[in-house]
Structure 1
Amino acid sequence: MIRGVSSDTRCGNALRWALSLILVQIIILGDCINGFVPLIESVCAQEAEKRSINLKEPIFDVRVEGNESIPALAILQKTKIQRGRPATRDMVLEDVRLLFATRWFSSVVPVYRKTEQGLVLVYKVKERPIVEKVEFRGYKKIKLKRLEATTGLKVGSPFDIAANQESVNRIKQLYVERGYRFAEVKLLKGGDPGDRQVIFEIKEGPKVVVSKIKFRGNKFVSDGVLKTKLQTKKAPLGISFLGGKFDPATIQDDLLSLKQYYNGLGFFDVKIEEKVGYNNDKSRVQIEYTINEGKRYKIRDIMIEGNRLFSEDEIREDINLVAGEYFNSRTLAKDVDKLTTRYGELGHLFAKVTPQPRFLETPGEVDLVYSINEDKPYRIRKITAHISGDNPRTKSSVLLNPMMVAPGDLANQRLIAKSKRRIEGNQVFMKGPQDGPRINVTRVDPNKEMLASRENDVLRGQNADEQPTQKLRHPNLRYRNKTYRQTPPQRNQDLFKGLKTEPVSYESPQPQRTGQIFRGQNYDNGIPEPLNPLFGQSPLGDPMGTEFPQQQPGWVDLDVYASESRTGRLMFGVGVNSNAGVVGSIVLQEENFDILRPPRSMEDILDGTAWRGGGQRFRAEAVPGNQVSRYLVNWTDPYFLDTNFSLGVSGFYFTRYYTDWNEQRVGGRFSLGRQLTQEWSVNTQYRLESVKLYNPRSPTPAIVQASVGDNMLNTFRISLNHDTRDAAFLPAEGHLLEWAAEQAVGEYTYSRLEANGSQYFTLYKRPDGGGRHILSLSAQLGWTDTDTPVFERYYAGGFQTFRGFRFRGVTPRENGIAIGGRWSLLGSAQYMMPITADEMIQMVFFSDFGTVDEDVSLDQFRVSVGAGLRLTVPAMGPVPVALDFSVPLAKESFDQTQVFSFYVGFTR
C-alpha cells in the first residue's frame, strides 16, 4: 500500500511518470499533442485512489479501451506485461513504447483500476486513421511488388501523411537508380488529414543511358585507355538493358580520375573540361571531354637527404626514375617501395622515404628530393592471431602458419608484407581492403616492458643516451644556383601527398633464419652480441667499426587480424575443348577443412563446426563427359602438423575413350612436400593405380596388346621446383622450372626423367603499366625407360601441348595406331598483346615445335605457327576463352593435323 507519503509527493511522482510517458510520445510519435492533457489528468486523478492500490499486487487483467478497428487481442500481443504478475513502472513504459512503435495510435494512456477480482491495467488508446486504398498510376518499367516494397504502404496500415510524402521520395529515388532520371512522382491523395486513400501518379520518362563518350585534344593517351579510367560507361550497341546508365554524380569523379592519371604520367598542368548533351527526348547522353594536356614534365635532378646506413650510390641503385626521364608516379612508387624495403630488411620497420617535388621556373622540369628518415631497427617480441566472424571456428595456427617471421626475428618489412600476401592467398579468410587480412605493428614501450638484460649495458661511468640519434645534416650546396617556383601549383603537390610510401609489392626474399619456427610464443632472448664484444652495447658504438652511433634495437608486437569467409562451395560448370569434347562438372570444395574435428553432436553439424577450422583443403569433384570422365576426392594440409611440410592424399576414378583404345584408371596418390624458400620447393609422391586398357583397335600392335586388361602401377616421384613468377595465373615476369625423377616398381619397372621450364618477359607496357605485351617461352623434356607401358609413354598434340596437330596426333605409330614415344622434346614461343584498352580481348602469335620419338633423336622434328584470340568474359569465370588457328610447317606423313583448337569453360 502507498502510505506515509504526502499527497504533493505522490502527485509529483505521478507528474514525473506522466512526463516520462510524454517524452516517449514525443520521441516515437512526434505529433501526438492531443494525447498529452488526458495523460496528465488521468494519472493525477488516480492519486486519490492509490491509497487503496498496491502496485506490487499481481495484475489480474490487461485490457484495451478506445480501439475501434484494431482487435484488442492484436494490440495486447504487442505488449509484454502478463496477467498474474506485478507490473513495474518501467514495464508499463516499455509497453507504451511498444504500442507507439506500431504506429497504430496517436495516444496511449495507461490506467490502473481496482476491481473486486484484483488490479486491472487498462491501456486507453486513440487509433490513427487506417489506409483504405493504395494505388500507383502510370508505372510500366517497375513492377508493382517492387513499388509496394519500396513504400511499405498497404491497406490496413496506419495513415501517416509524413510517411506518404516520404514514399514519394523513395519512389523517385528508385526510378533514378534504375536510370530514369527525369521520372516525376506526385501524391494525388494521402496528403490531407481527411484522406484515407494513398494514390501516387508516376511519369516515368525515358531511361537515360550514355550513348557516346568523346575525347578532344588528347594526343599522348588514346581514347580507349582514357575510357578505362572512367566510372561512366557507354551502353553497348546503344541497348539500355546491357548497361550504360547515366549518373551525373560520377562525372566529377571521372574528371578527377582523368587528371590523376595524367598527373601520374607527368602532365602536371593538364586541364580537362566536360560537356554533357542530351538528345531531344533526353533518353541518350553524349559526354565530351576536352583535354589540354600541357607539357609532360621531365626529371632534371634527383637528390637524397637523410641517408646514413646506405651510401648515395647504394640508394640510387634502387631508383629507376632517373634524371632526364619523364616523371612517372608508378615508377616513383616502385622506387619508394624498393627503398623502404631496403631499410625494412634491416629491421628499420618505420623508416620513411618521402619524395618531395621542387618545381622549377623552367616549364616542364621538376627536381625530386628523396627525404629519408631511417629510424632504428626493431625485433619482434610476439605475434598474436585474431580471427573474427559470425561464429569463428578456425584455429589460430591457420593464421600463424603462413607467417614468415617469428618472435625474436628482425622485423623484416618485406617478410611481414610477404606473410600478409600469403594469408591473403588463403581461401579461408575474406579479402578486400575492408575485410581482408591485416597485420598491425605496435612498438613496445621500453619503460613498461622488461627487455633483455643486455639492453642497459653501457660503458662504466657513462649514462645511457636516452635521446634518439640525430640525423646528420649536410649543407645542400646543389640548390645554390637553381631557381624554383615560389609557389608550386597545389594540384601538383597533391599528387605526392597521396603517394604511398609503405611497401606495396616486394621481391621474393630469402629467410633470415633457419630451423624450427615456434609460432605464437614470446621471444625473451637477449640482444645479439655486438661485432666488438669489448664495448658491449655502448651508445657510442664500436670505435673499431662504423663512425655512426649504433642504435639499440626496439621491439614490436605483431597482431594479425583476419575474418573468416565462406569456405564451403558447391560449384557447377560446363566446358568444351578440342582435346576432351564436352564435359560437365560438379565440385564440392571446403577450404577450411579439419579432418580431426568430426561431429560430436547434431548441433556441430547444424552450426557448421564439424569438419571445419583446420585450414586443410577438401575437394570432391565429378566431371562426366562424352570423351573423358573424372571423379576425384582430394585432401591436402598445406602446413602439416603446423610445419612447412604439406601433406596430400587423393583417390580417383578416370575413364577416357581414345581413338585407339579405351582406358580406365582407379587409384590414389600420397604426396609430401616442403617449401624450402619462397622460390624453391620439393615434393615427393607415391602413386598406386589400377589401369584397365580395353577395346583396342585392330590390327593391335604388340606393345598395346601387352597392356590389354588390368595393370598395376606403383611409382615413386620426386620433384624440385623454382618459381619466380609474378603471378601463378597469367604471369608477365619470371620463370617456373621443374626437375623430376620417377621410378616404377612391381609389375612394371622403369625410370623416368623430366624437366619443364617457362620464362615470361614483358616487352612493352604503357607508362601506366597496362597494355603489356608478353613473350613466353616454354620447354618440356622427358625420357622414360624401355619397360614403360603404352599408357604411360609420351604423346603430344592439341591446344595444351602442340597446336596445329590433333590431340595425341604427334607420336610414333604402328599400323596407324599411336604407340607413344620414350623421348619427348616440346617447345613453344608465344607473343600476347591486348587489342582493347581494357585487355578483355587479346591476340596471340605463337610457334610450337618439338618431337616425340622412340629414342633420343631430332630427326622427326615438327614445327607449327599460328595466331589466336583470348577473350575474357567475367560472367564465365577467370579463365579466358581460347581460340587458336595453327598450321604445321614441318610434320611427318603419319601425323594427324588440326588447324583450329579451342577452350571454352563456364563455372558458377
Structure 2
Amino acid sequence: MRVGAERRSCSSAASVAMGSTNIPSRPSRCEVRARAIVSGLIHAQRAPPAATTVASETRVSSGCRNAGVNLRKNRDKVRYLANDGAARRRGRTRSSGKNVGNDVGLTPDVVVWDRAAVGAAQGESIGRSARVATHMPSVWTTAPSALGCGASPHSVSSAPVSEHDARNRSDGSARGVSRLRLSAASLALAAASGVFAPAWCDFGVAAAQGVIRAESPFDGRPVGVVRFEGIERVSVQLLRNQLRTREGRPYSEATAQDDVRRLYRLGQFRSVEASLEIDPDDPGAPLTVVFRFVEAPIVEDVQVVGNRRVTDQDLARVVNILPGTPMDEFLLGRSIRAIEELYRNRGFFLVEVTVDERELEESGIVLFRVREGERVRVTGIRFSGNRAFEDRELRPNLRTKTAGILERGPLDNEVLDNDVTSLIRFYQAQGYLDIRADRQITPSPDGREAIVTFVLDEGPLYSLRNVVLRTADAEAESRPPVFTAAQISAIMEIKSGDIYSTQRVERSMEAVRASYWRLGYADARVQRDELRDAEEPLVDIFITVVEGPRFRTGEVLVQGNDLTKQKVIRRHVRLRPDRPLDRGAVRETERRLEASQLFEAGSVRVTVQPERREDPGYRDVLVEVAETDTGSLTFGAAVGSDSGVTGLIGLEQRNFDLFDPPESVGEFFRGQSFRGAGQQFSLALQPGTEVQTYSVSLTEPHLFESDYSLTGQFFFRQRIFRQYDEERFGGRTRIGRRFGDRWVAGLGTRAEWVSLSNINARAPAAIFDDRDRALLTGVSLDMTRTTVPPTERFRPTRGTRVELAVERVGAFGGDYDFTKLRAEHQIFMTVYEDYLGRKGVLSFKTTAQYIPEEGEAPIYERYFLGGRSLRGFEFRTVSPRGLRRDGTPSNEPIGGEWLFFFGTEYEHPVWRDILSVVGFVDTGTVTNEIGFDDYRVSIGSGVRLYLPQLGQAPLAFDFGFPIRTASGDQKSLFSFAVDLPF
C-alpha cells in the first residue's frame, strides 16, 4: 500500500449526521471524479414473516486495482452487502439459504450502487461513479428484504416488502434471523475531524438497500443480551465499562452510536460494528445487541529499509510507533510525514516513504520502505519582475540559500512558501501594497539540482495622503480629546506625503498608544483603517481612538518569590503608586525582570487588575514570578594568542545574600542559604600556561536600597611575558551611582603589590629598574554613558558607549605617584537586517590614554598595543623600545605614556545566528608624547562563532595584515580568542 503523499493530497473531511448520508465532495485524483459514500445506521421497517434474507456480494473490478488500490489487502475498507437482486445484476451471488450472519467478515468485497439507487437515497443524481475511501474504518450496512428493503436496485424505499414480492425472488431462500448493523466507520468519522483517502477509484453503482431515518423503530424495546464477537486480546470487562447499552435497559439507537464511538476511541481496533439480532416470529422478544470487533494488530517491531543517507538512530527519533502497542493509523501517517520531513531537511526533496502492508498483516512488523531519490540542491536563485529593487536587495529576505561551502542549499517547499511571504512583507514595508509573489522551480535533467525563480508583480508605489482622527468616546461625551489631530500627526513617525510603509505605520500606531498610556489611559485602544484611492496609489488612514477612563497606579503586588526578597523585585518595577498607570511601564517592568536572570525564562507576568471598587480611578498591578536556580559552577578553558591556555573553575551566584547564613547543613546544600538579596558573588580560579588569576568578588547593586552600588574584589594574578614574569595581588573597591538608564559614575580605590621576576639578562634596563616589589595605591573617578541595550552586552547592534576616567596613583601612599587619564568612545549601528532579524553591524572604537608625568610610571603601568588590541602586530610590541643595561639598543618594548587607537569593524551574519564574518581596519600608536608619530595601520578579516553552549562571548579568529609599520615592528598575521566552558 502506498502511504504518504496520496494520503495528504486526497484527504477529505467527512461527517455523519443522523437522518442523512453525508458524501465528501472534494474532487478525487482519478480520471472520473466521484464521491465517497459513508453510510450510517440503516433503519428499516420489519417485513412480514414471509420475507426472506439473502446476502450477496460484488467484487471490485480489476480497473480499481490497476489504479493502485488493492482493497482486498487493505484493512480499512468500505464494504456493502447487497441483496440478491443487486448481486444478480453485478453477476456475483452467494448461495442462497444462508442468513446474513454467515457472510459477516468473510470477504473484503465491495458492492457499488447504481445511479438511480443513489439518487433516490441521497435526493440527487451523482452520476455513474462513486469514490470509495480506502482509509476509513470498515463500514458494514445491511438492509435485507426481511427488514423491508426494496426488491429492486432501482427502488429505494422504507416500505415493507410484500409476500408476493418475496415469493417472486429467484433465490427462494428460507426465512432467517435479520440483522441490522450499525456503521462503525460512520460513527468513528463523526468523532473524527476528517477522512484521509489516499486513493480513489472509479466504480459502477449498485442499488442501495435502505434509507437512513432519524429514529429507529426498535428504540424502547428491552435489551436481552449484549454480546461481543472477535475479541481475543482486549479485556471484555474493559469493553463493558465503555457501554451504556446494558441488559434489561431499553434500547436506544443514539446510545448504541455513542457506545461504538467510545469503543473505537480505545485505539485497540481496526473496526467496531454494532448490530441487532431480532426474531421475526416474536416481535416483542428482547433484542440481542452484538458488538463485532476487528482488533488492531500488535506492532511486533519497527524497521526501516532503503535509508542510506540517514541513520537508523536519526529515524528512530522521529518515528512515534512503539513495539508492543496496537497499530495506530494516525501515528503511522505522522511517522511517515516525519521521515519525509527529515529527508527534506537534508536535501532529499524527492523522498518517498511507504509501508509494507503485507508485512504488517502477516507478521505485525511495521516496515517503512524509503525511496530516497537524489539530493536536490538549489544551485541558483533568480528574481523576475523586480523593477524597484535589485536582486541583492531581495536575497537577504530569503531563507533558501544556494549550495556552497557553508550551505547545503536544500530545496524545501515550506521554506520556499515562507520566502514568498517574506518578500511580500518586504515590499509592503517599502510601500508596494499590491505586491504579488510566487515561485517556480526548474529542476535539472538528472533531478539533482534546481533553480528557484521568484516571480514578482510589484504594482504601484503607495503614498500616505491624509490622516483622519476620530476619538469615539470623547465625541460621545462632548469633551475635548486628549490629543488633537495635529498632535497625533506629530507623534506618528510616518507623515502625509511619505511612502506608505507598513512597518512605519505600525510603529506610528504603537507610538500613539504609548502616548495615551503615559498619561494614564491604560485601556486606550487605537485602531487603524485604510482607504485606498481608486484612481491613484494614495492611502488615507482613519485612526479611531477609544480613550477610556484615566487611571492611577494603586498597589504593586508581588507573588511567587519564595527566596528573593520583595525589594529586589521592586527595583525593576517601573510603576509607582499614585502615578498615572502606564502600560508601557508595565511592559518595561516585564522586560527588566526577564533580563535580570533571577527568574525562570518566560515566567514573569505583570498584569493590571480591575478598578478598585472602594477607590475608583485606581488599579493595582500584580507582578508574578517563578524562582529559578541563580547559582552556577563552571568548568572551562580559554585559548588565546595573547594569553596561552587557561583553565577555569568558577562559582557564581547572581542572587547572593551575604547576611543569610544557613541554619543547617541541609539548608546550605539545598541552596536555601546565602540567597535572595540580589547581590552578585563570584569566585574564579584560572590557572594557565602564561596567565594565572585567582579572584573573589561581591557586588551590592543597590546599596541601602539606593541607586548606589558597592563592589569589593581581592585577587592574585601572575603573568609570564617574554622578558620577565609579573606578579600582582591586592584588592579593589568601587562605589557606583546610576543616573537614569544611561549614565553611571564611579569612585574606585585600589591597593596592590607588584613585583617582577625571572628577568632576561638582555632585557631593557627599565625592567630591572622596576623589578622590586612595590605598593600601588590609587583613587579613580569614572563616568560612563551608554545607550547599548543591556541584553546586547556581548553583541551590540545599536547605541553608543562613552567612558571618561582619571586615576591618581599614590593617593594613599605607596612607591609611585602619577596620574592616568583615559577616554573611550564606541559606536554601533545596524546597516543591514534580513527578515530573520539578523543584523550587519558597523562599529567604531576610539581610545586615548595618557600619563602626564614623564618617566614616573613603572613599566607595568605603561601602555602597549598589539595582539588583539591592534591586530596584525605581535602582542604588546607596538611601543617605544628601550636600552639594555650596557647601553645598546634593545628591540624589546618598554611601554609608552601616550596611547591612541582608532578602529572600525563590520560584522555580517552568514549562517543562522551562529557564524558571522568580519572585516576590520585597526590603527594606532604608542609613544611617550602626545602625537601620531610611528602610526600603524592594519586591515584584515575574520570569523565569529556564537555557540550558546559555550557562553555569550563569541569565538574570535582574525587575520590581520599590517599596511603601515614602524622600524622594528613584529608582525602577527593570526590572532584568536576562544573560551570553552566544559
User: Which TM-score band applies after superposition, normalised by the shorter structure?
Assistant: 0.5 to 0.7
Select which of 689, 699, 719 maps to 1:626. Answer: 689
Distance change in 2, residues 1:367/1:890 (3 Å) = farther
Aligned to 1:402: 572
CA–CA separation in structure 1 for the residues paired with 2:232 and 2:816: 88
Q: 1:272 deviation in Å?
A: 0.6
- Structure 1 residues 146-225: aligned runs within 5 Å: 150=319, 153-154=322-323, 157=324, 160=326, 162-163=327-328, 168-169=332-333, 171-179=335-343, 182-188=351-357, 191-192=360-361, 197-198=364-365, 200-206=367-373, 210-212=377-379, 213-223=381-391
CA–CA separation in structure 2 for the residues paired with 1:205 and 1:747: 77
Aligned to 2:827: 760
> Which whole-Å deviations, capped at 9, do the CAs of 1:38-70 have from their partners, x for residues lacking one?
999xx99xxxxxxxxxxxxxxxxxxxxxxxxxx
Select which of 851, 871, 883 maps to 2:943. Answer: 871
Aligned to 1:273: 438
Distance change in 2, residues 1:804/1:642 (3 Å) = same
Bigger CA drift: 307-316 or 671-680? 307-316
Matched, 1:420 2:570: no
Aligned to 1:733: 799
**Structure 1: which amino acid aligns with 2:435?**
V
CA–CA separation in structure 2 for the residues paired with 1:223 and 1:260: 16
Select which of 779, 782, 788 maps to 1:719. Answer: 782
- Structure 1 residues 342-741: aligned runs within 5 Å: 342-375=515-548, 377-387=550-560, 393-412=563-582, 415-431=585-601, 435=602, 437-445=604-612, 448-450=613-615, 554-571=617-634, 574-601=637-664, 603-604=666-667, 607-698=670-761, 703-726=766-789, 727-728=792-793, 729-741=795-807
Which secondary structure does the structure 2 equivalent of 1:579 belong to?
coil
Which secondary structure does the structure 2 equivalent of 1:646 belong to?
strand
CA–CA separation in structure 2 for the residues paired with 1:592 and 1:632: 19
Q: 1:269 deviation in Å?
A: 0.9
Q: 1:271 deviation in Å?
A: 0.8
Structure of larger gyration radius: 2
**Structure 1: which amino acid aligns with 2:849?**
L
**Structure 2: which amino acid aligns with 1:328?**
S
Select which of 962, 973, 976 maps to 1:887. Answer: 962
Matched, 1:846 2:921: yes
Distance change in 2, residues 1:820/1:583 (3 Å) = same
CA–CA separation in structure 2 for the residues paired with 1:247 and 1:764: 30
CA–CA separation in structure 2 for the residues paired with 1:436 and 1:221: 43
**Structure 2: which amino acid aligns with 1:794?**
R
**TM-score of the superposed pair, with normalisation by structure 1:** 0.65
CA–CA separation in structure 1 for the residues paired with 2:942 and 2:330: 50
Which secondary structure does the structure 2 equivalent of 1:178 belong to?
helix
Bigger CA drift: 598-607 or 323-332? 598-607
Matched, 1:903 2:969: no
Is the 1:748–1:788 contact (alpha carbons within 8 Å) kept by the matching residues of 2?
no
Is the 2:315–2:339 contact (alpha carbons within 8 Å) kept by the matching residues of 1?
no
Is the 2:868–2:976 contact (alpha carbons within 8 Å) kept by the matching residues of 1?
no
Between the aligned residues of both structures, percent identity stands at 19
> Which whole-Å deviations, capped at 9, do the CAs of 1:10-35 have from their partners, x for residues lacking one?
xxxxxxxxx9xx99x99x99965698
Distance change in 2, residues 1:170/1:780 (3 Å) = same
Which secondary structure does the structure 2 equivalent of 1:405 belong to?
coil
Q: 1:687 deviation in Å?
A: 2.3
CA–CA separation in structure 1 for the residues paired with 2:579 and 2:723: 60
Q: 1:442 deviation in Å?
A: 3.0
CA–CA separation in structure 1 for the residues paired with 2:266 and 2:854: 86
**Structure 2: which amino acid aligns with 1:852?**
T
Aligned to 1:56: none
Select which of 811, 814, 827 maps to 1:747. Answer: 814
CA–CA separation in structure 2 for the residues paired with 1:217 and 1:874: 37
Which secondary structure does the structure 2 equivalent of 1:399 belong to?
helix
CA–CA separation in structure 2 for the residues paired with 1:609 and 1:588: 16
Is the 2:708–2:737 contact (alpha carbons within 8 Å) kept by the matching residues of 1?
yes
Is the 2:904–2:922 contact (alpha carbons within 8 Å) kept by the matching residues of 1?
yes
Distance change in 2, residues 1:870/1:859 (3 Å) = closer
**Structure 2: which amino acid aligns with 1:697?**
N
Aligned to 2:143: none
Which secondary structure does the structure 2 equivalent of 1:179 belong to?
helix
**Structure 1: which amino acid aligns with 2:604?**
P
Aligned to 1:256: 421
CA–CA separation in structure 2 for the residues paired with 1:207 and 1:623: 51
**Structure 1: which amino acid aligns with 2:904?**
Q
CA–CA separation in structure 2 for the residues paired with 1:670 and 1:848: 33
Q: 1:290 deviation in Å?
A: 0.9
Q: 1:245 deviation in Å?
A: 5.3
Matched, 1:858 2:930: yes
Unaligned runs of 5+ in 1: 1-18, 45-99, 105-127, 452-553
Which secondary structure does the structure 2 equivalent of 1:169 belong to?
helix
> Which whole-Å deviations, capped at 9, do the CAs of 1:68-114 have from their partners, x for residues lacking one?
xxxxxxxxxxxxxxxxxxxxxxxxxxxxxxxx99999xxxxxxxxxx
Which secondary structure does the structure 1 equivalent of 2:590 belong to?
helix
Distance change in 2, residues 1:317/1:33 (3 Å) = same
Select which of 898, 901, 904 maps to 1:830. Answer: 904
Q: 1:265 deviation in Å?
A: 1.5
Is the 1:796–1:811 contact (alpha carbons within 8 Å) kept by the matching residues of 2?
yes
Bigger CA drift: 741-750 or 768-777? 768-777
Aligned to 2:861: 793
CA–CA separation in structure 1 for the residues paired with 2:591 and 2:724: 47
Is the 2:799–2:827 contact (alpha carbons within 8 Å) kept by the matching residues of 1?
yes
**Structure 1: which amino acid aligns with 2:728?**
R
**Structure 2: which amino acid aligns with 1:818?**
P
Is the 2:939–2:962 contact (alpha carbons within 8 Å) kept by the matching residues of 1?
no
Aligned to 1:289: 454
Aligned to 2:878: 810
Which secondary structure does the structure 1 equivalent of 2:397 belong to?
coil
**Structure 2: which amino acid aligns with 1:398?**
V
Unaligned runs of 5+ in 2: 1-222, 248-264, 270-294, 345-349, 472-479, 884-889
**Structure 2: which amino acid aligns with 1:736?**
V
Aligned to 2:275: none
Which secondary structure does the structure 2 equivalent of 1:175 belong to?
helix
**Structure 2: which amino acid aligns with 1:365?**
L
> Which whole-Å deviations, capped at 9, do the CAs of 1:145-179 have from their partners, x for residues lacking one?
6767745644xx47x4x34x566435423412321
CA–CA separation in structure 2 for the residues paired with 1:663 and 1:577: 19
CA–CA separation in structure 2 for the residues paired with 1:245 and 1:268: 31
CA RMSD of aligned residues (A): 4.6
Is the 1:749–1:787 contact (alpha carbons within 8 Å) kept by the matching residues of 2?
no
Bigger CA drift: 610-619 or 670-679? 610-619
Aligned to 2:6: none
Aligned residues: 685
Which secondary structure does the structure 2 equivalent of 1:269 belong to?
coil
Aligned to 1:51: none
Q: 1:200 deviation in Å?
A: 2.0
Q: 1:608 deviation in Å?
A: 3.9
Which secondary structure does the structure 2 equivalent of 1:274 belong to?
strand
